[in-house]
Amino acid sequence: MEDRSARKIIRVVQGRSEPAERKVVEEYPLRLRVNGRDLATLVCSPHQLNFLIAGFFRLQGFINSLDDILSMGVCREYGLAELRIQGDLPEGLQPTLTSGCGTGVAFNLPQNLVAAGRQRPRSYRSEALLRLMQELHVKAEQYRSHGGIHSAAVGDANGLLLYAEDLGRHNTLDRLAGEAWFKGLDLQDKMLVTSGRVSTEMVAKAARLGIGLIASRTSPTDKAVDLCEQAGITLLGYLRGNNMEIYSHPQQLQLQESD
């Protein structure tokens, strides 16, 4: 079977050009039709779409459990997911096209989050966080054959629990949320590590899951820092090797002293 992700290119190295092949990330539009109504088109990666769809509906607040999904069918050929869910969708929703990058898609994310984690102390150890980020890196290297893919993982002091990758940063959180439901995993107070920038929507989705720490290899936005302060979430950026920058609630992270 022909590999559709492999494209013929011209590679130029030190001024010399030669023909070559490069795998490129697949951009897959998936139209969501819910209770007979077109809702949104997610631009995503085409694997494990059941996790993505369930997590998307969970984090948008449209359903409260997998039991609220009465039926779900996905036609890969036509890029269509048909769902029937308990209850009705909120009025006034407009069909939206989103890749999950940039601003992503949000219909009813809460404006002011008060996380349950603020009602009790949370505590994390830097060595467990560093180990989790390293596990994310190893996992991504094992599965990635080309660039352009974001990755994320959830774990605790014992290590990595769930891993997801997608062309959209926000899609990785939806995938984690969906897989956690299918596997019966409680993500309360777990750590989230991601390869991409942390925005307010990612913080809001993490807060819905009860996650207490978010760490990225790159930067957070200013509004993401503000939201983490409100939600009681420890936020870290530029976590590379043993180096990191802590933007909110540093008291929840116990740092291991270097020799």
Query: How many of the other CB atoms lie within 10 Å of CB of 6?
Result: 13
In angstroms, the CA 161 to CA 154 distance is 6
Structural domain spans, the chain: 28-98, 116-254
Options 3.40.50.300, 3.40.109.10, 3.40.140.10, 3.30.1360.200; CATH of 116-254? 3.40.140.10
Interacting residues of 187 by C-beta distance below 8 A, sequence separation 6+ = 154, 176, 177, 180, 209, 210, 211
Question: Considering the entire predicted model, what is its pTM?
Answer: 0.85
Interacting residues of 162 by C-beta distance below 8 A, sequence separation 6+ = 153, 154, 155, 176, 179, 180, 183, 185
Which comes out higher in pLDDT, residue 35 or 201?
35
In angstroms, the CA 63 to CA 51 distance is 14
* DSSP secondary structure code for residue 121 in this structure: -
Question: What end-to-end distance do the CA atoms of the chain give, in Å?
Answer: 54
Contact between 208 and 115 under an 8 Å Cβ cutoff? The reply is no
- 28-98: in CATH 3.10.50.40: no
pLDDT tens readout for residues 225-234? 888 888 899 9
pLDDT tens readout for residues 165-199? 998 888 999 999 999 999 999 999 999 999 988 98
Per CATH, 28-98 and 116-254 having the same topology is answered no
pLDDT tens readout for residues 1-57? 445 567 787 787 887 878 888 777 788 899 999 999 888 888 898 999 999 999 999
- Output the pLDDT for position 108: 39
